[in-house]
Structure formats: C-alpha cells, structure tokens
A = this chain, B = another copy of it.
C-alpha cells in the first residue's frame, strides 16, 4: 500500500513573522489578542508597523492595552473596535488612542465588552447580528449608530442589534503550539478564542513549539485546534506578560508611555518617533528587537 500512503505529508504551519503579517493588507480588519498588559502578539504587531500598514480597522481585546495604542501612534489605524484602550494603573487611557480620537484621526467603534463579544459571536455564527439587552437607554446607539435599537420578534422587548464584527486576520500570542496549529494557552485565555472564531485567518505566535505528543497529553488545554499559521516567538509578548513565562516589563512600557504621552501633551512626536526608530525600524526582526531590549532585562522578568 506504499503507493497510496506516503505521497503526501502533513504540512507544517510554522512560518516567519514577516510571512504571517503579509496576510494583512491595508484597509483590512485585524484582530489583536491578549488582555491589557498581557498576551499581545508583539512581534506581529511590530511587523505591521514595519510593513507600513495603513487604514486598519483594529479589533483589540475586550480590554485592549498599549499594543493598540502603538499601532495608532505608528499611523496604521483608521478605526478601533474595543471597549477599552489603556494600561490599568500604568495609564488609565492609552495616550495615542486618546489624542487620535480627540483629534478625529481615528474612529472609535464605541461599545461595551458584552456588545464586543456579541459582535464577534455573530461573525463566528455567520449571522448579520446578535441581540443584547444592556445598552438600551444609554447613549451607545446615539454615538455608535451601528448598534441599532429594535423590538425582538417574539416578545417585542427593546434590544440592541449588534452587527457582526468580521475579522480578516487575527493575531494572537499563546504559550505553545505544535507545528500543525494546535495551540495551547496558559491560564484563562482571555478572549482569544472568541477573536479566533470571528476571523477568516488566525496567526499565533508562541513561546515554544512543542511536539504533537505533548499536545495530545492534554487535549483539554488546546484552545485553538488549527490556527492558520504559527510563528516562533519566544518573548513574543514583550513588553507585556506571557502567562506562565514572564511578567510585564513595566520599565519598557513606561518608556513607550512617556513617548506617547509627550505626543499627547505637546503635539511633539520626537520621543515617539525615537521609540519607533529604536524598537521597530532599526530592529526589524524579533531577535534584533530583543537584543535592543537586552537579555539582562529579559531575565529579570522570569517570576511567576
């Protein structure tokens, strides 16, 4: 039976940061996973900036962090879909988000996290919308007319119709995957699987590529059973934490925040451009970025 059984082999889904990011074109809707100060696919985010992407509709996490702020600061974004952009105690509001929204440089698709997941779910379910009750009587439908009040067809109750949030490419970061896209997160997974389910393609950067045998040892842990592509990226969430691998680099986050806040307060982009120059444009690969950060700093982050 050798004539039929050995012709084709299972294809590896591992690809480079640049090849994964090449699936994103100007004007697309891009989902970015993680949660505030954790789990963002930063090697892929930086690649979008390097590639000069423009007019992206960015679907951040239900609570987005400064990875979305950075994309805004770099001029990649035309619209943000997220119920929150900030960094908790480090920054209540993302500075570039705040400035760009105030000045009309970006649109904000204003919604609550429940609306956010209702919209993602509609995309995953291939529906034009999903209903939600919370939000009636608020200003959401006024400031975001895409959230439309309607009467439900069964009881005539007033509800909001949340349109599907359809994502072209989702970019996530996780703990491990095998070569075939079986991804396993540590911890609660935040909203990553909902972003994946709403997306046409999903690229996941991981701390480690592992054997399929290791995946099979605990299939309950498989959070995504078949990502489009897997990117090898140890420290791939830096400066944010990767659950179970390293904590956030608050010093580096502070460096970005200082630069972005200077732009917000003074209109002067010098510090911000210098940040982008140092950590993106003159460090165009993930390893060059990590070199720029320095191994000494990275080694301080390994606790919990």
Which residues does A use to contact B, with CB under 8 Å? 125-133, 148, 150, 152-155, 157, 159, 161, 163, 220-221
- Choose from B127, B161, B220 the contact partner of A132 (Cβ within 8 Å): B127
Q: Which chain B residue lies CB-closest to A146?
A: B154
| Interfacial chain B residues near A154, Cβ < 8 Å | 128-129, 148, 161, 163
Q: How many Å lie between the Cα of A221 and that of B221 in the bound state?
A: 9
Q: How many Å lie between the Cα of A152 and that of B103 in the bound state?
A: 35
Q: Which chain B residue lies CB-closest to A163?
A: B154
Q: How many Å lie between the Cα of A150 and that of B127 in the bound state?
A: 13
- Choose from B150, B155, B157 the contact partner of A153 (Cβ within 8 Å): B150
Please give 20 more A-B residue pairs, beta carbons under 8 A apart, in addition to A125-B132, A127-B133, A130-B131: A126-B133, A127-B152, A127-B159, A128-B152, A128-B154, A128-B155, A128-B157, A128-B159, A129-B131, A129-B152, A129-B155, A130-B130, A131-B131, A148-B153, A150-B153, A152-B161, A153-B161, A154-B161, A220-B220, A220-B221
A-B contact pairs, 25 of them (CB 8 A): A125-B132, A126-B133, A127-B131, A127-B132, A127-B133, A127-B152, A128-B152, A128-B154, A128-B155, A129-B152, A129-B153, A129-B154, A129-B155, A130-B130, A130-B131, A131-B131, A148-B153, A148-B154, A150-B153, A152-B161, A153-B161, A154-B161, A154-B163, A220-B220, A220-B221
Q: How many Å lie between the Cα of A188 and that of B146 in the bound state?
A: 37
A95 to chain B, nearest CB (A): 34
| Interfacial chain B residues near A127, Cβ < 8 Å | 131-133, 152, 159
> Looking at A126, A129, A154, which has the most chain B CB atoms within 10 Å of its CB?
A154
Q: How many Å lie between the Cα of A59 and that of B116 in the bound state?
A: 30
| Interfacial chain B residues near A129, Cβ < 8 Å | 131, 152-155
